[in-house]
Amino acid sequence: MNDRTIGHPGDMLQGYVDGTLTVAELRSVADHLTACTRCRSELQEFKRVDQILRQIPLERASVHLSGTVLERLHIGMPHDAALRVLARVGAGFAFLIVAATLIAVCAVTGVIDLGGLAPGGEGAGRWVTEPWNALTQAASGLGAVVARHFPFLSQQGALAILTFTAAVAALLGAMDLLFSRRSMRR
């Protein structure tokens, strides 16, 4: 038998929870609820499900979504895209600084190690005349220092690692700067 035919409000309970009933319907359901335990219990069930559904969590879209949309529309530089470029430029410079530092340390350590400019050392107070020789000697010197601290490495091995690191750092720095310039042009 249909609920309504025996006076139960049935689906009107949902309207009661949603607040979509007319005043007359609302009054009728409210009157019924005061007398019907079953409908009161059912109303609690409606309310419970309603309450849970209202707590469905929002899913978070990617933080890059708005940047990507604006990029697709070719609209200027959105905030997060600008930050990405900035980070890339920063990383580029950082890599280049690392490369330069490695080369500088190589040079200084090499000279000191070889006694070229070390105070009181042989040949103190004069620069090595051939720049290429100076660089080679400096690198060899640093290789020697590293090899001394890490006995399992040969001087050539240490030198190879240092050279490779400096080259990779310089390459990464150059690439980052290049890509950041492209992003800025877009």
- Using the minimum distance from each CB to other proteins, give the nearer residue, 65 or 168: 65
Round to whole Å and give the CA distance between 127 and 66: 57
Per CB under 8 A, the segment of 46-54, 119-127, 162-170, 172-180 that binds other proteins is 46-54
Of 30, 31, 50, 97, which one interacts with other proteins (CB under 8 A)?
50
Return the structure tokens found at 161: 């690692």
Check binding of 84 to other proteins (CB under 8 A).
no
Smallest distance from the beta carbon of 107 to other proteins, in angstroms? 48
Round to whole Å and give the CA distance between 98 and 173: 9
Check binding of 76 to other proteins (CB under 8 A).
yes
SS3 category, 8: coil
Which of 184, 4, 149 lies closest to 76, judged by CA?
Answer: 184
- Using the minimum distance from each CB to other proteins, give the nearer residue, 80 or 144: 80
Check binding of 46 to other proteins (CB under 8 A).
yes
Smallest distance from the beta carbon of 9 to other proteins, in angstroms? 9
Round to whole Å and give the CA distance between 114 and 98: 24
- Using the minimum distance from each CB to other proteins, give the nearer residue, 36 or 172: 36
Check binding of 19 to other proteins (CB under 8 A).
no
Check binding of 23 to other proteins (CB under 8 A).
no
Interhelix angle for 65-72 vs 79-114, to 10°? 100
What phi and psi values does residue 183 have, to the nearest 5 degrees? -60, -40
